């Protein structure tokens, strides 16, 4: 089961369903010395973060072992956001992951998956 979790996390890293998150500032803010007035739109490019070589070595390679317990310290905070984060993260995150696991188990019980020649 631990490898199933790493597999799912890597699938969500490479093929994230939400490619970006938009937020609107509700008050004037300074971010690293830059003034951002209330009403400024902030865009977080999740897909770009997941495929950035500064955050994930060989980002276009499918490597579930990135998410093994011993490798989790290599993942920088806020660079893996398949369900966003913080108080406005996806309310259905646990349900979505359980449904995905259930579907995978059913598929693997009924079918054999083999690599194609290409």
Residues 46-95: pLDDT tens digits?
999 999 999 999 999 999 999 999 999 999 999 999 998 888 888 999 99
Q: Annotated binding residue at 116?
A: no
76 phi, psi to nearest 5 deg: -70, 140
Whether 42 maps to a domain, the answer reads yes
Whether 51 maps to a domain, the answer reads yes
Tell me: pLDDT of 108 over 80. yes
Whether 31 maps to a domain, the answer reads yes
Whether 117 maps to a domain, the answer reads no
Q: Tell me how far CA of residue 50 lies from CA of 32, 42, 78, 83, 103, in angstroms.
A: 23, 18, 10, 12, 24
Whether 54 maps to a domain, the answer reads yes
Question: Is the overall model pTM greater than 0.95, yes or no?
Answer: no
Whether 24 maps to a domain, the answer reads yes
Whether 63 maps to a domain, the answer reads yes
Find residue 87's DSSP bridge partners.
none
Q: Is 99 exposed, middle or buried (0-12, 13-18, 19+ CB in 10 A)?
A: exposed
Whether 14 maps to a domain, the answer reads yes
- Provide the residue range defining the domain that includes 65: 2-110
Number of separate domains in the chain: 1
Q: How far is CA 103 from the centre of its chain?
A: 19
């Amino acid at each position: 089961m631990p490898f199933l979790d790493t597999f799912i996390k890597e699938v969500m890293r490479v093929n994230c369903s939400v490619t970006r998150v938009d937020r609107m500032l509700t008050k004037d803010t300074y971010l690293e010395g830059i003034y951002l007035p209330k009403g400024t739109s902030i865009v977080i490019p999740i897909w770009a973060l997941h495929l950035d070589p500064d955050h994930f070595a060989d980002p276009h390679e499918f490597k579930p072992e990135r998410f093994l317990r011993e490798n989790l310290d290599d993942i920088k905070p806020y660079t893996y956001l398949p369900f966003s984060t913080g108080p406005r993260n996806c309310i259905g995150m646990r349900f979505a992951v359980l449904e995905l696991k259930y579907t995978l188990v059913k598929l693997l019980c009924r079918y054999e998956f083999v690599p194609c020649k290409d």
